[in-house]
Structure 1
């Protein structure tokens, strides 16, 4: 009887050990499978992110080539035509009695030529690389301030440093996108641009006192309304690893803040 009970206890003990061993093996292989699956998903995600970044970089390069081509066309072709118009008007001035009209038209042609030159410069990638981001942004703000006829304040703090030509070109185009949105939609009476060099990073803020907008609503409906402004800003910021924050309140204006590391 004692022997039988011992055998039963031994059988139970061995069965328990075997069951625990089997459960441990199952848990081990499940853990290993989940880890391998997670690693695979991570690799797929990284490959997808890498592909999207390469694709976005290619699109930006194509855009830069297109803008550079437009810049040269404006300068060489349309600019020359505007110059010829001005020359012909000078000739006409000596042969007509309507001198005031000709003089006024000459002034308009001169303004057109000046504006074409400014736009050509703003689109020219080589120019941005040559003068650097800060000066290119200052020139762009000077150009648009003549068009919008309200104050554009540009404040710079800290010791300037370069982010490198590629980053600076993308950052400049991003700023152009924001400034263009302010001009087109904000209905503002003032714009403030603050550039702060802080050790190894740049803080940039573009703020207006316009009508503002509902950010959540715009993001939700941007595909439906074919709105690409915010999307372009986010995409360009992503390419240069910049943190972008957009704060807007209806009737209180909008502020776009960027933080970019070297």
Structure 2
């Protein structure tokens, strides 16, 4: 074998090695792209699955709430109305009996509370009346609680949200208020809503004890996680701003 043959052999061997290396690199690159594509598809499927589950859960929940709303309005409301009629009859039959004094106002307040609660549980009413009206009714109901002051500020503009977003925003609002009343030990709750143009913002702020958000989120806090997750599935943003001794503020918005 002469020198030229040796050179050709070395060159061909080098080319073969380079081609082999290139083939391996291309194979790894293609495999990586396929894996990435599969991971993206799996993530999208997981998100779609979670949305479907949430949709079913929401439908079941709304049906249960609608049934409970109907029960409150049709049965409990009628019983309270009957009780008021009976009291009025007793007052006519016994005009000098003072034991019924003051019952009218308490009973009327109870009937109004049941009526407002029934509306707040009924998703059809929320859709027909709008988010602003639904919030007004819920806040007026809460104002009957003498142990806490409710401050309500709104531009009274119905936000440009889809049906699902309006309903989800209202249910999240109820959950935020429930958390505040249950845990915050606050004296004041400040509720603000702006729905002008294409921007929507709903804020619930309190002057309570606050908490360490990271610590609470890392140790369960299913209620808070559920609020954030439900907002995300409705394509709304949810921020929780709090610190120990500094109260807490929930903000949901569409931007």
Q: Would you say same fold, with TM above 0.5?
A: yes
Residue 250 of structure 1 deviates from its aligned partner by 1.3
* Preserved contact between residue 244 and residue 257 of structure 1 (Cα < 8 Å): yes
Structure-2 residue corresponding to 1:137: 135
- Equivalent residue, structure 2, for 1:189: 187
1:78–1:158 CA distance, 2 compared to 1 (3 A): closer
Aligned residue for 2:241, secondary structure, equals strand
Shift of 1:10: 1.8
Structure 1 stretches of 5 or more lacking a match? none
The residue correspondences of 1:117-156 to structure 2 (distance < 5 A) are 117-156=115-154
Counterpart residue number, 1:71: 69
Match of 1:54 in 2: 52
The residue aligned with 1:241 is: 235
Aligned to 1:260: 254
Partner of 1:251: 245
Which residue is equivalent to 2:26?
28
CA contact (8 A) 2:151 2:190 kept: yes
Moved more, 48-57 or 7-16: 7-16
| 1:93-242 alignment runs, 5 A limit | 93-96=91-94, 99-157=97-155, 160-197=158-195, 199-222=197-220, 227-242=221-236
Contact 1:193 1:204 in 2 (8 A): yes
Choose 88-97 or 125-134, whichever is displaced more: 88-97
Is the Cα–Cα contact under 8 Å of residues 160 and 198 in structure 2 kept in the other structure? Answer: no
Correspondent of 1:86 among 75, 84, 87: 84
**Shift of the alpha carbon at 1:39?**
1.0
Root-mean-square deviation over aligned CA pairs:
2.0
Shift of 1:182: 1.2
**Residues 130 and 158 of structure 2 are in contact (CA less than 8 Å); yes or no, is this contact kept in structure 1?**
no
Distance 1:106 1:217, change over 3 A: same
Q: How many aligned positions are there?
A: 255
Q: Give TM-score, length-normalised by structure 2.
A: 0.92
1:10 to 8, 11, 31: 8
Q: What do the CA deviations read for 1:141-174 (whole angstroms, capped 9, x no partner)?
A: 1210111443322222495443132210111111
In structure 1, the residue corresponding to 2:145 is in which secondary structure?
Answer: helix
**Structure 2 CA distance for partners of 1:198 and 1:23, relative to 1, 3 Å:** farther
